[in-house]
């Protein structure tokens, strides 16, 4: 989040080299709204040169989608580095940005962002998912994608879900394994809902991670065969 061309150039030149996609917000209101319903692998927040920057930092950190996201705060006199860290930033630096300091911060930030990306990387999957809400009502929807940390579901009709729900889905294999889990509703709109896993039975967890490993292996194989010789 920034409207500072110099900071944006630093972000683009450094994050572009690792193939990261950037989502720019130039005002705090839209950044706060998006943080309430979307997870990012990392955030760069311009605290002082965007109105409401410190508020955006605090609300992003307190959002359910980005509680563990690495946040790099950039301050410019009005906010101290200590205050930015107290508000939830993992790292902070001051303007004007010195290249050596910027690089040392990125040496810490980028590996953390890559780990977060692996944790939240979503595999596109179409499977039926059965839910039971806190009232004991059951219904079936379709899985849209899945990651180590959670899944998204497609809604044919608006469904009111909030808080903790129980769910189960069958892993496709020669000997299908039924996964039982509890999940927290992170965000939803009219057609998609995102959930974060809170608990998974031990047998389910072992089978689930084995399935994710096979999805990763297939993904890497497709990438390797798609590369030109």
* 222 HSE (CA, 13 A, CB side): 6
Per-residue pLDDT tens for 38-84?
Answer: 888 899 999 999 999 999 999 999 987 788 899 999 999 999 999 99
Last residue of a domain, one of 82, 100, 120: 120
Does residue 10 contact residue 44 with C-beta atoms inside 8 Å?
Answer: no
Mean confidence (pLDDT) of the chain: 87
pTM for the full predicted model: 0.61
Whether residues 18 and 96 fall in one domain: yes
For residue 81, what pLDDT is reported? 95
Domain encompassing residue 196: 123-226
* Helical spans, DSSP H, in 39-164: 53-62, 81-86, 99-120
Whether residues 92 and 186 fall in one domain: no
**CATH no. for residue 199?**
2.40.10.220
Last residue of a domain, one of 105, 120, 135: 120
Question: Is the per-residue pLDDT at 94 higher than 70?
Answer: yes
Whether residues 15 and 39 fall in one domain: yes
Whether residues 23 and 129 fall in one domain: no
């Amino acid at each position: 989040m920034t409207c500072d061309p110099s900071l944006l150039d630093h972000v683009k030149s450094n994050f572009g080299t690792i193939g990261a996609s950037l989502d720019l917000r130039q005002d705090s209101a839209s950044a706060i709204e998006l943080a309430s319903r979307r997870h990012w692998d990392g955030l760069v927040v311009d605290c002082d040169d965007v109105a409401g920057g410190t508020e955006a930092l605090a609300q992003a950190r307190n959002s359910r989608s980005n509680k563990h996201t690495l946040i790099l705060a950039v301050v410019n006199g009005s906010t101290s580095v200590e205050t930015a860290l107290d508000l939830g930033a993992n790292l902070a630096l001051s303007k004007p940005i010195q290249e050596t300091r910027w690089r040392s911060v990125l040496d810490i930030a980028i590996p953390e962002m890559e780990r977060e990306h692996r944790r939240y990387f979503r595999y596109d999957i179409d499977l039926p998912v059965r839910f039971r809400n806190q009232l004991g009502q059951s219904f079936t929807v379709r899985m849209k994608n899945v990651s180590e940390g959670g899944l998204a579901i497609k809604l044919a009709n608006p469904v009111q879900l909030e808080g903790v729900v129980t769910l189960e889905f069958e892993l496709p294999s020669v000997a299908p394994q039924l996964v039982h889990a509890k999940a927290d509703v992170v965000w939803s709109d009219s057609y998609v809902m995102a959930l974060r896993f809170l608990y998974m039975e031990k047998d389910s967890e072992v089978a689930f991670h084995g399935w994710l490993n096979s999805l990763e292996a297939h993904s890497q194989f497709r990438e390797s065969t798609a590369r030109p010789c």
